[in-house]
Amino acid sequence: MENYRRPIKTKRKIRKGRLFFTIFLILMISLTTYFIYQYRQGLKLASEDKIEPQEFQADIKHDTVENYLILGVDSRGEEKSRTDTMMLLSMNHETNTLKLVSFMRDIYADIPNHRSYKLNTAYYLGGVQLLKDTLNNMFDIPIHHYALIDFKNFETLVDIIAPKGVEIDVEKDMSENIDVELKKGLQRLNGKELLGYARFRMDAEGDFGRVARQQKVIEALKDEIVSISSIKNIPKFIGATQGYITTDVTNKEQLELMIKIITAGGVGIEKLTIPQEGTFTYKNYSHAGEVIQIDVEQNKQILHDFLNLD
């Protein structure tokens, strides 16, 4: 009897194995179908006003640090515009940490082959490459990739990844020159409200307060992306970035970066603003208006120490 029963048990194991494999295969096919469908839905949202690809020459790779120049513009349909937001997102592959540097737009900058102007004028004069060259020359920092987004498209991307809004603690009532009305307190902001919050500067802190809010928004978005509730929105979000963000980063590299950010999970973003307190003065030039005159060497060293470039 023993010789007769053993094949029956083996057959049952084989059937269970086949059943498990079939269920697993169906699940993978379903997930893949969902991912592709959502990704294509995101692609359909591609804006007709997407900014054209820019001239960009990446710097030589650093051993551990990879830097992304993130620029935000308010084109409003105009062919040329200035950069309202200039940030450097730095990823350290050795420590798996993220760092974010914001450059004040009114920094008085030596723009290659041009007269000195405010830093945000560099993009207006020569696009991403000229702005990159300006930052290279001033601070001796390597820049490996760029990402350029129009503010209007930013609103849509926020609404895709966070349909219920992004949680922000609004520190005061805000409404002037931002096209929305925000009340003080912890709340969830949709894309338009979040952009308004990030752009508000009509208070005593001026641009420095606005830069701090922009950094706060970036970290809140990072937390939203890695949250469990947003996982289902990621395929559509990735698809939409193809239409809304102009970048030199390939689709494969974007996916790899997204995975790295997600796996970083609870890792926070260390933040820095250039210039640092005590390293600048305000000056006024007839051709440039009121500017921030910085101690370049002092801020350069602060930046290198922060990014672990040395």
Tens of pLDDT, residues 173-222:
999 989 999 999 999 999 999 999 999 998 888 889 999 999 999 999 98
- pLDDT score, position 137: 96
Residue 278 lies in a domain: yes
User: Three-class SS of residue 267?
Assistant: coil
Which helix or strand (DSSP H or E) is residue 10 part of?
helix 2-44
Task: Find the range with the poorest average confidence among 74-83, 116-125, 200-209, 242-251.
Answer: 74-83
Total count of domains within the chain: 1
Contact 192, 179 (CB under 8 A): yes
Residue 250 lies in a domain: yes
- pLDDT score, position 106: 96
CATH assignment at residue 84: 3.40.630.190
Residue 57, pLDDT above cutoff 80: yes
C-alpha–C-alpha distance, residues 235 and 224, integer Å: 14
| Band of pLDDT at residue 30, cut at 50, 70 and 90 | confident
Tens of pLDDT, residues 126-183:
999 999 999 999 999 999 999 999 888 899 999 999 999 999 999 999 999 899 999 9
Residue 7 lies in a domain: no
| Band of pLDDT at residue 118, cut at 50, 70 and 90 | very high
Residue 49, pLDDT above cutoff 60: no
Higher per-residue pLDDT: 59 or 51: 59
- pLDDT score, position 11: 63
C-alpha–C-alpha distance, residues 139 and 137, integer Å: 6
- pLDDT score, position 78: 63
- pLDDT score, position 10: 66
Higher per-residue pLDDT: 292 or 32: 292
Average pLDDT, rounded, for the chain: 87
Q: Which two tokens stand for residue 100?
A: 């974010």
Report, as an integer, the average pLDDT of 238-255: 82
Contact 88, 68 (CB under 8 A): yes
Residue 309, pLDDT above cutoff 70: yes
- pLDDT score, position 1: 46
Q: Which residues contact 90 (CB under 8 A, 6 or more apart)?
A: 65, 66, 67, 68, 98, 99, 100, 101, 307
- pLDDT score, position 256: 76
Number of Cα atoms under 13 Å in the Cβ half of residue 1: 0
**For the whole model, what pTM was predicted?**
0.85
Residue 50 lies in a domain: no
- pLDDT score, position 295: 98
Print the domain residue range for 229.
65-307
Residue 275 lies in a domain: yes
Task: Find the range with the poorest average confidence among 4-18, 45-59, 231-245, 260-274.
Answer: 4-18
Residue 3 lies in a domain: no
Residue 55 lies in a domain: no
Say what percent of the chain tops pLDDT 70. 88
Residue 154 lies in a domain: yes
